[in-house]
Amino acid sequence: MVINTIHWFRKGLRLHDNPSLKDSIQGSDTLRCIYILDPWFAGSSNVGINRWRFLLHCLEDLDASLRKLNSRLFVIRGQPTDVFPRLFKEWQINRLSYEYDSEPFGKERDAAIQKLANEAGVEVTVRISHTLYNLDKIIELNGSQPPLTYKRFQAVINRMNAVEMPAETITSEVLKNCVTPISEEHDEKFGVPSLEELGFETEGLTTAVWPGGETEALMRLERHLERKAWVANFERPRMNANSLLASPTGLSPYLRFGCLSCRLFYFKLTDLYRKVKKNHTPPLSLYGQLLWREFFYTTATNNPCFDKMDGNPICVQIPWDRNPEALAKWAEGRTGFPWIDAIMTQLRQEGWIHHLARHGVACFLTRGDLWISWEEGMKVFEELLLDADWSVNAGSWMWLSCSSFFQQFFHCYCPVGFGRRTDPNGDFIRSARHFMKGFPAKYIYDPWNAPDEVQKAAKCIIGVHYPKPMVNHAEASRINIERMKQIYQQLSCYRGLGMDHLWHFNHDDSLPSVPGNRMDTGNTSPKRNEAVINTPAFPAVQLQLVYEKSCVFGAKLELSSHHLNPIYMVTD
């Protein structure tokens, strides 16, 4: 029997470490690698031009790599549920493969396709390769709940089996006798579209700071490792002015689109560490970037409401303000705070900002200054940020707005001070906002305080050439921290009333003792508290941070606090 295979690329846009593709090639006679482009997607969805461009680069790169193997990429317009029945018939398909997608929407879509495949007698091959681990196993190990603190997550990770090795790269040896039928009209029918064809205006578009594609990704990986080896230091790098600029060794967008396999990255890091540090076991912090990503994927996979506040069991209900005008100022970099505006400008122009810059602008929008919902910020990032995918973006926004994950809220990033400490000279601002060039370092973070002569000399009058600050930060942050305290105080009121079914809070003390890889340092590792990890339900707690007696970690519950009795709240 002739075996005709389709491999469906969604993320995982690579030929290295692609186990679903590799496995389905075995014994196939023909192979067609497809990418489905939803025709309504480009115009209506919330995806900006940089993300589209990156994706198209990835597809072109895949096509080029497949060409070297006498194959091609087939880009097909339509919706998967319409496309597949047609293709199954036309191409007489009996095998379909794709990389497992852990996100709730992805799982739903794939379930529908599985059904169609079963009806058409098509065998489906799915493999996990977008995450380091099988996320369901992580959840199982944690008592059927995703870990809601990063610390707990790390503890569970330590108990998992080792990460699986990356699958062999698809080469002509792997393909063997498997062929791809390519017609003469392939470019017309199935070629990778251009930005113009998708309806984008490309005049004046600058060169991509982040070129997409597997080839670029692998090159960056090598550079990234070289730099680490040269520094021989695997500590978290100190933040400085340069860190804010796009790095030629940055990998996050490539991980998001799957141009770079996270498992490959993981193993290469491990090898390098062992080489440089002479066979010591790498600490978990080495994989920080990868594990955070894994953490958010895990928390999101079973929660279709993960990207919303309403109806999301892990999200604190915070009375955010609806303020489209203020939101627009933030999104477009017109807040009047050069630090914030420079970051948002870089985001819009290039598609990437440093993670501390993200913290700064996210705090400013939500719990720091504007008191606007994190969902709005998440949507802006979804449009502009290359490495923002559903799980990681929503999870990070909830984290940064203190809406979940027991994140402490006392610390607020100052839109003046934080930038000033990171980049005292203000070079980053000058590079992003050219008209601020004339300001001396002393005033570049708070130009409204600059005397008139200084403003005139800089040819930038505040209020004319550049907006005045849209909020008084001291006042706004003072008000907002009070609001956060009110909310958390109220949550602690729910404690005694058995109404904790919504809030699966994690008691700090439930953390097990130290993770196991301490043998090498000569410390005796204490017994792990197995029972705790396997606890099925989180105990009704004590919002770990003493919300009773103290100042910020909990304001004192007033004498007559029963007027705040939650039974009488009409928020249902």
Partner 1 sequence: MKRGLQGNEQEDGGGTSGGCQKTLKRSRKQRREKDLEDGEARWECLPQEILLHVFQYLPLLDRAFASQVCRGWNEAFHMPELWRCFEFELNQPASSYLKATHPDLIKQIIKRHSDHLQYVSFKVDSSRESAEAACDILSQLVNCSLKTLGLISTARPSFMEMPKSHFISALTVVFVNSKSLSSLKIDDTPVDDPSLKVLVANNSDTLKLLKMSSCPHVSPAGILCVADQCHGLRELALNYHLLSDELLIALSSEKHVHLEHLRIDVVSENPGQQFHTIKKSSWDAMKRHSPKFNLVMYFYLYEDEFGPFFRDEIPVTHLYFGRSVSKDVLGRVGLNCPRLVELVVCANGLRPLDEELIRIAQRCTQLSAIGLGECEVSCSAFVEFVKMCGDRLTQLSIMEEVLVPDHRYGLDDIHWEVSKHLGRVWFPDMMPTW
Annotated binding site: 289-296, 387-389
Angstrom CA distances, 40 to 97, 198, 400, stand at 25, 10, 32
Nearer to partner 1, 437 or 495 (CB): 495
Q: How far is the CB of 158 from partner 1 (least distance, A)?
A: 13
User: In 3-state terms, what secondary structure has residue 96?
Assistant: strand
Among the residue ranges 35-43, 267-275, 388-396, 462-470, the one whose residues contact partner 1 (CB under 8 A): 388-396
How far apart, in whole angstroms, are the C-alpha atoms of residue 493 and residue 16? Answer: 53
Token pair belonging to 355: 């993670």
Is residue 246 within 8 A of residue 209, CB to CB? The reply is: yes
Q: How far is the CB of 323 from partner 1 (least distance, A)?
A: 7
Q: Is residue 202 close enough to count as binding partner 1 by CB under 8 A?
A: no
Using left for φ > 0, alpha for ψ between -120 and 50, and beta otherwise, residue 459 falls in left
Residues 357-376 that bind partner 1 (CB under 8 A): 359, 371, 373
Among the residue ranges 76-84, 128-136, 177-185, 314-322, the one whose residues contact partner 1 (CB under 8 A): 314-322
Among 79, 317, 349, 492, binds partner 1 (CB under 8 A): 317
Which of 252, 208, 214, 250 lies closest to 52, judged by CA? 208
Among 1, 111, 531, 551, binds partner 1 (CB under 8 A): 551
Is residue 228 within 8 A of residue 287, CB to CB? The reply is: no
Q: How far is the CB of 468 from partner 1 (least distance, A)?
A: 14
Q: How far is the CB of 489 from partner 1 (least distance, A)?
A: 11
Residues 72-91 that bind partner 1 (CB under 8 A): none
H/E segment holding residue 228: helix 214-231
Which residues sit in the known binding site for FAD? 289-296, 387-389
How far apart, in whole angstroms, are the C-alpha atoms of residue 407 and residue 444? Answer: 31
Token pair belonging to 281: 């076991």
Q: Is residue 150 close enough to count as binding partner 1 by CB under 8 A?
A: yes
Among 68, 176, 434, 556, binds partner 1 (CB under 8 A): 556
Among 2, 111, 474, 531, binds partner 1 (CB under 8 A): 474
Q: Is residue 147 close enough to count as binding partner 1 by CB under 8 A?
A: no
Is residue 155 within 8 A of residue 126, CB to CB? The reply is: no
Tally Cβ neighbours within 10 Å of residue 284.
14
How far apart, in whole angstroms, are the C-alpha atoms of residue 264 and residue 177? Answer: 27
Q: Is residue 531 close enough to count as binding partner 1 by CB under 8 A?
A: no
Q: What is the dihedral of CA 357, 359, 360, 363, to 10 degrees?
A: 160
How far apart, in whole angstroms, are the C-alpha atoms of residue 195 and residue 483? Answer: 45
Q: Is residue 494 close enough to count as binding partner 1 by CB under 8 A?
A: no
Among 118, 194, 513, 534, binds partner 1 (CB under 8 A): 513
Q: Is residue 563 close enough to count as binding partner 1 by CB under 8 A?
A: yes
Nearer to partner 1, 190 or 503 (CB): 503
What burial letters (b/e) apply to 152-175, b meaning 16+ CB within 10 Å?
A: bbbbbbeeeeebbebbebbeeebb
Nearer to partner 1, 37 or 444 (CB): 444
Among the residue ranges 18-26, 190-198, 231-239, 257-265, the one whose residues contact partner 1 (CB under 8 A): 231-239
DSSP state of 468: P
What are residue 391's phi and psi, to 5 degrees? -65, -50
Among the residue ranges 59-67, 242-250, 259-267, 544-552, the one whose residues contact partner 1 (CB under 8 A): 544-552
Among 69, 76, 514, 540, binds partner 1 (CB under 8 A): 514
Count of chain residues binding partner 1 (CB under 8 A): 81
H/E segment holding residue 163: none
Among 172, 482, 501, 539, binds partner 1 (CB under 8 A): 482
How far apart, in whole angstroms, are the C-alpha atoms of residue 568 and residue 545? Answer: 25
Nearer to partner 1, 85 or 424 (CB): 424
Among the residue ranges 25-33, 164-172, 267-275, 309-317, the one whose residues contact partner 1 (CB under 8 A): 309-317
Among 56, 331, 343, 412, binds partner 1 (CB under 8 A): 412
Q: What is the dihedral of CA 194, 198, 201, 203, to 10 degrees?
A: 10
Among the residue ranges 23-31, 216-224, 405-413, 428-436, the one whose residues contact partner 1 (CB under 8 A): 405-413
Which of 210, 237, 299, 224 lies closest to 264, judged by CA? 224
| Residue 97: HSE in the Cβ half-sphere, 13 Å Cα cutoff | 22
Query: What is the per-residue binding string for partner 1 in 259-298, x denoting contact by CB under 8 A?
Result: ------------------------x-x--xx--xx--x--
Query: What is the per-residue binding string for partner 1 in 103-132, x denoting contact by CB under 8 A?
Result: ------------------------------
Q: Is residue 196 close enough to count as binding partner 1 by CB under 8 A?
A: no
Is residue 29 within 8 A of residue 117, CB to CB? The reply is: no
Q: How far is the CB of 278 from partner 1 (least distance, A)?
A: 16
Is residue 466 within 8 A of residue 447, CB to CB? The reply is: yes
Among 215, 304, 518, 540, binds partner 1 (CB under 8 A): 518
Is residue 354 within 8 A of residue 339, CB to CB? The reply is: no
Among 161, 322, 452, 524, binds partner 1 (CB under 8 A): 322
Q: From the centroid of its chain, how far is CA 414?
A: 24
What are residue 462's phi and psi, to 5 degrees? -70, 130
Among the residue ranges 32-40, 133-141, 192-200, 516-524, the one whose residues contact partner 1 (CB under 8 A): 516-524
- Could you tell me the maximum CA-CA distance found in the chain, to the nearest angstrom? 84
Residues 4-43 that bind partner 1 (CB under 8 A): none
Q: Is residue 540 close enough to count as binding partner 1 by CB under 8 A?
A: no
Among 92, 144, 521, 534, binds partner 1 (CB under 8 A): 521
The CA R_g of the chain, rounded to the nearest whole Å, is 26
Q: How far is the CB of 70 from partner 1 (least distance, A)?
A: 37
Q: How far is the CB of 130 from partner 1 (least distance, A)?
A: 14
Q: Is residue 239 close enough to count as binding partner 1 by CB under 8 A?
A: yes
User: In 3-state terms, what secondary structure has residue 344?
Assistant: helix
Q: How far is the CB of 319 from partner 1 (least distance, A)?
A: 4
Among the residue ranges 8-16, 87-95, 212-220, 509-517, the one whose residues contact partner 1 (CB under 8 A): 509-517
Angstrom CA distances, 291 to 229, 231, 286, stand at 21, 22, 9
